[in-house]
């Protein structure tokens, strides 16, 4: 049995880029031996095991053979005859096809270190075309590393275009598309995720509702760093109906859906906030559920500020704080209950906003 550190951990160590997870490849072992040594097997598709103490993933070296469309249609061979070089050859990019021994010796059969030094994202072999998820990974890696000067090799872009033309992208399952998309929004330049998809033709297949402008999206990426707020700002321009289609297709989590729909439907009111009556401002705050979900209200303001040339965030925050001071505790001496109390709170909050407008 031989054990090697592989993939992203090796890449990011050489880049001196922060990373948290370590993946290991085991050569010359069997599932039975791994279990005997205390490893716990996870999943049914591949022979992957968790270390009994560190819980890091250890995978038996394997070769793969494409059996159909999509990223799950593979047969694999994880026998003891599979070499480290065999395992590395099946990986997506040369910068991910490097390994290190326990002594720290770099093993680089596909010239990944040279591509890393030259900031190139290049596919290892033609087998890249067998897995459409690799298009998403290329896009996400550019979202992560574009600020370091990385670019995708022309031959890799050409291969990705061929994959799209051949319909491989249509075989992607929604959950995986969303997973890679969500990760991209946490990277430094999420606009590059969509730029890569646009360059290879996959954007119109995966996100046909999106009106793509890398320049505009880049401005949003600079303006906000929170993934949730970025997402809402990126998709503020599409119609409510089109966003609901997108949401249905990818089963987008509720917090993303709710915030994005608020930005889509309430952006115009946000932009006109200083011209609205006190009652209309109160209605806007109520529509945003600002008094119960203050954090989401703040996220809404940040998303709108990122896409609107005229910021109304400061004014709306002042209105909110003035109205927020009126609550059930402040009206306790009136001895109101139920609907009457709710109506009084509403009335007093509108008056508080009106007084603020006069000042």
Residue 38 lies in a domain: yes
Domain shared by 193 and 73, yes or no: no
H or E element that contains 347: helix 338-358
96 and 238 share one domain: no
pLDDT band at 267 (very low <50, low <70, confident <90, very high): very high
Q: Are 136 and 241 part of one and the same domain?
A: no
Give the residue-averaged pLDDT of 99-105.
94
Looking at per-residue confidence, does 326 or 151 come out higher? 151
Q: For residue 335, is pLDDT > 80? A: no
CATH number at residue 58: 3.30.460.10
Q: Given this model, what pLDDT does residue 272 score?
A: 96
Residues 154 and 158: their CA atoms lie apart, in Å, by: 6
Mean pLDDT of 265-275: 97
Short-list 119, 113, 124, CA closest to 88:
124
pLDDT for position 20: 75
pLDDT-derived band at 96, boundaries 50, 70, 90: very high
Q: Are residues 325 and 337 in the same domain?
A: yes
Looking at residue 179, which CATH number applies to its domain? 1.10.110.30
**pLDDT tens readout for residues 157-185:** 999 999 999 999 998 999 999 999 999 99
The answer to whether residues 54 and 75 belong to one domain is yes
Domain-ending residue, one of 154, 178, 206: 206
Domain, as residue range, for 49: 1-111
Q: Are residues 100 and 143 in the same domain?
A: no
More confident residue, 334 or 22: 22
Work out the pLDDT band at 65, boundaries 50, 70, 90: confident
Q: 172 and 90: one domain? A: no
Task: Report pLDDT for 337.
Answer: 74
Give the model confidence (pLDDT) of 25-61 as tens digits: 999 999 899 999 999 998 666 789 999 999 999 999 9
Residues 186, 254, single domain; the answer is: no
Chain mean pLDDT for the chain: 92
Identify the weakest region by mean pLDDT among 223-227, 241-245, 355-359. 355-359
What pLDDT does 45 receive? 67
Taking alpha carbons only, the member of 164, 226, 215, 157 closest to residue 191 is 215
pLDDT value at position 320? 97
With a pLDDT cut of 70, the percent of the chain lying above it is 96
Please name the residues in contact with 269: beta carbons below 8 A apart, sequence gap of 6 or more: 276, 280, 284, 287
- 18 and 153 share a domain? no
* pLDDT recorded at residue 74: 62
For the beta carbon of residue 51, count every other beta carbon within 10 angstroms: 16
Asked whether the predicted pLDDT for residue 336 surpasses 80, the reply is no
Both 333 and 220 in one domain: the answer is: yes
The residue-averaged pLDDT of 2-10 equals 93
Asked if residue 218 and residue 201 are part of one domain, the reply reads: no
CB 259 within 8 A of CB 304: no
Q: pLDDT tens digits, residue range 125-163?
A: 999 999 999 999 999 999 999 999 999 999 999 999 999
Are 55 and 74 part of one and the same domain?
A: yes
- Supply the pTM of this predicted model: 0.88
Tell me how many domains the chain contains.
3
Give domain status of residue 116, yes or no: no
């Amino acid at each position: 049995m031989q054990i090697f550190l592989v993939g992203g951990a090796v890449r990011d160590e050489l880049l001196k880029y922060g990373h948290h997870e370590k993946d290991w490849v085991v050569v010359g072992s069997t599932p039975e031996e791994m279990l005997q040594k205390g490893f716990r097997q996870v999943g049914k598709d591949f022979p992957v095991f968790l270390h009994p103490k560190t819980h890091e993933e250890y995978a038996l070296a394997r070769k793969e053979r494409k059996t159909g469309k999509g990223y799950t249609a593979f047969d694999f061979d994880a026998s003891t005859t599979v070499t480290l070089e065999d395992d590395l050859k099946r990986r997506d990019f040369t910068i991910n096809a490097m390994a290190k021994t326990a002594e720290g010796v770099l093993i680089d059969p596909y010239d990944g270190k040279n591509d890393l030094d030259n900031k190139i994202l290049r596919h290892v072999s033609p087998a890249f075309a067998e897995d459409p998820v690799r298009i998403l990974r290329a896009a996400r890696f550019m979202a992560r590393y574009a600020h370091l000067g990385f670019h995708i090799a022309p031959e890799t872009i050409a291969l990705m275009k061929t994959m799209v033309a051949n319909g491989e992208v249509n075989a992607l399952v929604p959950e995986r598309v969303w997973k890679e998309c969500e990760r991209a929004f946490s990277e430094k330049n999420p606009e590059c995720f969509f730029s890569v998809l646009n360059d290879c033709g996959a954007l119109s297949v995966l996100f046909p509702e999106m009106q793509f402008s890398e320049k505009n999206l880049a401005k949003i990426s600079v303006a906000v760093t929170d993934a949730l707020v970025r997402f809402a700002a990126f998709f503020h321009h599409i119609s409510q109906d089109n966003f609901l289609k997108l949401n249905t297709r990818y089963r987008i989590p509720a917090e993303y859906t709710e915030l994005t729909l608020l930005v889509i439907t309430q952006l115009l009111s946000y932009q006109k906030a200083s011209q609205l009556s006190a009652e209309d401002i109160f209605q806007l705050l109520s529509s945003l559920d600002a008094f119960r979900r203050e954090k989401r209200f703040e996220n809404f303001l940040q998303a709108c500020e990122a896409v609107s040339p005229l910021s109304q965030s400061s004014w709306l925050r002042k209105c909110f704080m003035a109205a927020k001071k009126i609550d059930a505790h402040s009206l306790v001496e009136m001895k109101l209950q139920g609907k009457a109390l709710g109506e009084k709170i509403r009335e007093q909050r509108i008056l508080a906003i009106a007084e603020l407008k006069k000042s």
